Structures are given as C-alpha cells and as structure tokens.
C-alpha cells in the first residue's frame, strides 16, 4: 500500500510538474504517509489532501 502510493504519487508529480523533481518527491512522500492512515490497499486521499500535508499541515488530523 505505502510503496504503491509512493510510486503513484511520484508518477503523478512528474506528470503534473515535469520541471520540478522536488515537488514530485514531496508529493510521493506525502501520499505514502497519508496511505498509512487508511485501511486496505487503495489510497483514498485527494490531491488537495496530499498538497495540504506537503504545505506543512501535519497536525495529526485528517479532514475528510
């Protein structure tokens, strides 16, 4: 789950911002971290939720 989410996030980040490798890496890391809050194999978070975590909102609360 977490590794798949990381790779999916990395692919998304590289496609969304092809000239910004750091964004892709940060997106992949945040997507993987959020996946660990969800039971099962599918990462059910939105792009906005991942970017919210990337922006530093690590309060421990997930808004869904």
CB 34 within 8 A of CB 53: yes
For the segment 53-63, the average pLDDT, to the nearest whole number, is 72
pTM: 0.85
Higher-confidence position of 8 and 59 = 8
**CA dist., res. 56 & res. 51, Å (int):** 9
For the segment 7-20, the average pLDDT, to the nearest whole number, is 97
pLDDT, residue 62, reads: 58
């Amino acid at each position: 789950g977490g590794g798949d989410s990381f790779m999916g996030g990395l692919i998304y980040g590289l496609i969304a911002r092809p000239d910004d490798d750091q964004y892709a890496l940060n997106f992949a890391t945040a997507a993987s971290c959020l996946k660990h809050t969800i039971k099962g194999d599918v990462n059910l978070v939105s792009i906005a939720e991942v970017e919210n975590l990337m922006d530093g909102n690590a309060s421990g609360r997930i808004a869904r």
